[in-house]
Structures are given as C-alpha cells and as structure tokens.
C-alpha cells in the first residue's frame, strides 16, 4: 500500500545566471513496509528530491510544479504549522552525519525527551519510559545510562541509532534515510541496515533510502529509482533491476561495480552536467555509448519494460 506519492515534481534554483531547472518530472511512491532506494552520483538530485518531501528546501530553490501526496493532502500547499506536525512525527529524516542533528550541549536523553514531548505530548515518567523503550528498540545497551550521555560520548553508529530512536519514539510512518551509513565503518553499516530492516518489517515503515552505493541497494532495497542529472532514468523492483537493467546509465553503473569478478571494471566517460549546462534531448547523451540521432533532439519518456519496470531510453521504446 502506498503511503506517499511524489508526482511530476519539477524544481529549480535561482543562480547568478538566472533560474536553472534541477529536477524534471520526478515521480515515485513509497509503500508501507518497503525500502525504495533513490540511486545516483553526487549532484544528481537525490537529496533535493527527498528534502522536497519534507519541504526543507534552500531559499533559492523553488518547486515549479508537481504534487507530494500524503494522507490525501499535497505537502507542497501545506502551511508551516501543519508541516511541523508531519516533520519528525510522521516523516522522519535520518541524516548522513548524525552529529549535525544532535545538539552537543544537551544530553542525548534530553533531546529525545524533547522530541517525545513535542510530537507525542508525553511528559515525566511516561516520556522517560518511552525514551528508554526507543533506545532499547534500536539496541543501545544500558539504555537508561546512555540517555544521560552527551553526543560526543556516542560513537558514529550509536548516534545514528539515537536519531533512529527519535523517529521510532514518534511512530514515524516514513523514514527518509539520506546516505545513513556513509560516515560509518562496514560492520556498523551492516548493523544500521539490519536495524532498518527490522523497523520496516515490525512497524511496516516505508523507507526512502538515498544512496550512491549499489551494493547496499542490492542487499537491502525492495525497489530502485536511478537518477541522472535531475531525472529518473530507470525504475524497477530491485531483483529485476539487478538481473535485467535496461537504461545504458544503469548498465554502466552496474558494470563499474567491483563485484563484477572476472570482468574488467568499466568507467563512464565524461562528467555529469552542471546545473548551468543546457543539454538537449536525453541528458545522458554526451556520455552514452549507444547514443543515436534522436537522443540529441528529443527527450525520452518513461517506457514500460514490465509491470513495474520503466526506462527513459529510446532503446526501450
Ligand atoms: Fe543513450 Fe539515447 Fe538511451 Fe539516452 S536515450 S540513454 S542517449 S540511447
């Protein structure tokens, strides 16, 4: 069941050179109890797409069209007060660097209790019990003791668990995890991803996982959206995507993974375009090995491969 739907989102930035479009027709939906991975190179628009959901955009960004539907309401038209009730409470963010979300001057427990008070209206013993439960659920040992600690006394993995505990204490229906394991070592990465799995299974939470790490996606995601230069170029169930990628950019990304044993690693020539660059037709055409005349002149639509698999490439028309 879909809990949130992003429909035809278009967004741009006001730059020194005028208004520049950064996202084109972004559409995806989040399902209860599933992980959707938004994948792509740095600067492709993954994070800004996710921040649009929370309406936490930089001042110079502007959403020019589209809808973000949650509980039959468009978040884009929502007032600040209503949004405050959704952010953190219904839709929670797990950032790349948890240190930026925790205030170093207060204990982790004080910060968790504040969140519980604001979003659940609980005080005193009830709030404290909820905080301990949340810490225990994310497997922070000696929960009562650790609530008294300051953020600098937590390791990176523990900080990330504390942030996840805040989302759980508010019973968030949707978690937006923005490169949640990038700052962590491999063992802790696996523990945090196992925790996400546990949450999606036990609480039926929808998770939007933003990452550039295809190995992580292969192991953990239920479905995948690949982004390139502000557009979604391929959408598919994860199994199907890894077995049968269709878009030349997806194929090139997968061929550049070190896990392709026996095959030499491929690189994608050139660089992704900057926001200032105007590119006609398919935005991948300057780097695509299969480029055709039509690719330079026309924009490919999302062509259907199978029930839930789409590719924005003329080869799949
Ligand atoms: Fe390559 Fe053309 Fe497909 Fe774009 S539309 S990915 S340029 S083949």
Residue 315 near ligand 1, beta carbon < 6 Å: yes
297 within domain boundaries: yes
Residue 45 near ligand 1, beta carbon < 6 Å: no
73 within domain boundaries: no
Number of domains in the chain: 1
Mean of pLDDT over the chain: 92
Which residues form the domain of 263?
245-317
pTM listed for this prediction? 0.92
Residue 66 near ligand 1, beta carbon < 6 Å: no
187 within domain boundaries: no
284 within domain boundaries: yes
pLDDT digits (tens, 9 = 90+) for 82-97: 998 898 889 999 888 7
Residue 312 near ligand 1, beta carbon < 6 Å: no
152 within domain boundaries: no
pLDDT digits (tens, 9 = 90+) for 26-43: 999 999 999 999 999 888
Distance in Å, CA 5 to ligand 1 centroid: 27
287 within domain boundaries: yes
Residue 314 near ligand 1, beta carbon < 6 Å: yes
pLDDT digits (tens, 9 = 90+) for 167-199: 888 889 999 999 888 877 888 888 889 889 999
At residue 185, the pLDDT reads: 81
pLDDT digits (tens, 9 = 90+) for 103-154: 999 999 999 999 999 888 899 999 999 999 999 989 899 999 999 999 999 9
pLDDT digits (tens, 9 = 90+) for 209-262: 999 889 899 999 999 999 999 999 999 999 999 999 999 999 999 988 876 566
| Atom of ligand 1 lying closest to residue 290 CA | 8
**pLDDT-based confidence at 13, cuts 50/70/90?**
very high
pLDDT digits (tens, 9 = 90+) for 277-286: 889 999 999 9
To test ligand 1's pocket by mutation, which of 229, 295, 302 has the most ligand atoms within 8 angstroms of CB?
A: 295
| Angstrom distance (rounded) from CA 38 to CA 233 | 11
257 within domain boundaries: yes
Distance in Å, CA 224 to ligand 1 centroid: 19
To test ligand 1's pocket by mutation, which of 232, 234, 282 has the most ligand atoms within 8 angstroms of CB?
A: 282
Residue nearest ligand 1's atom 7 by CA: 285
309 within domain boundaries: yes
């Amino acid at each position: 069941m879909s809990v949130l739907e992003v429909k035809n989102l278009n967004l741009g930035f006001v730059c020194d050179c005028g208004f520049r479009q950064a996202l084109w027709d972004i559409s995806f939906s989040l399902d209860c109890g599933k992980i959707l991975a938004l994948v792509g190179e740095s600067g492709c628009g993954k994070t800004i797409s996710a921040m649009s959901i929370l309406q936490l955009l930089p001042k110079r960004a502007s959403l020019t069209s589209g809808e973000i539907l949650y509980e039959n309401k468009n978040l884009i038209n929502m007032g600040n007060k209503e949004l405050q009730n959704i952010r953190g409470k219904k839709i929670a963010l797990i950032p790349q660097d948890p240190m930026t979300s925790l205030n170093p001057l207060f204990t982790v427990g004080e910060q968790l209790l504040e969140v519980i008070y604001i979003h659940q209206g609980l005080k005193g013993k009830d709030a404290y019990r909820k905080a301990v439960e949340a810490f225990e659920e994310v497997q922070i040992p000696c929960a009562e003791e650790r609530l008294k600690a300051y953020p600098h006394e937590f390791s990176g993995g523990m900080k990330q668990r504390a942030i996840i505990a805040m989302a759980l204490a508010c019973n968030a229906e949707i978690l937006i995890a923005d490169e949640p394991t990038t700052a962590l070592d491999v063992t802790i990465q696996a523990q945090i991803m196992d925790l996400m799995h546990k949450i999606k299974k036990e609480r039926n939470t929808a998770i939007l996982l933003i990452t550039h790490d295809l190995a992580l996606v292969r192991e953990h995601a239920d479905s995948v959206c690949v982004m390139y230069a502000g557009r979604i170029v391929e959408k598919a169930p994860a199994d199907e995507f890894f077995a049968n990628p269709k878009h030349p950019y997806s194929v090139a990304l997968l061929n550049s993974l070190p896990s392709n044993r026996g095959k030499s690693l491929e690189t994608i020539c050139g660089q992704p375009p900057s926001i200032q660059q105007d590119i006609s037709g398919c935005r991948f055409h300057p780097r695509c090995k299969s480029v055709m005349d039509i690719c330079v002149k026309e924009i490919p639509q999302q062509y259907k491969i199978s029930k839930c698999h789409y590719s924005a490439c003329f080869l799949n028309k």
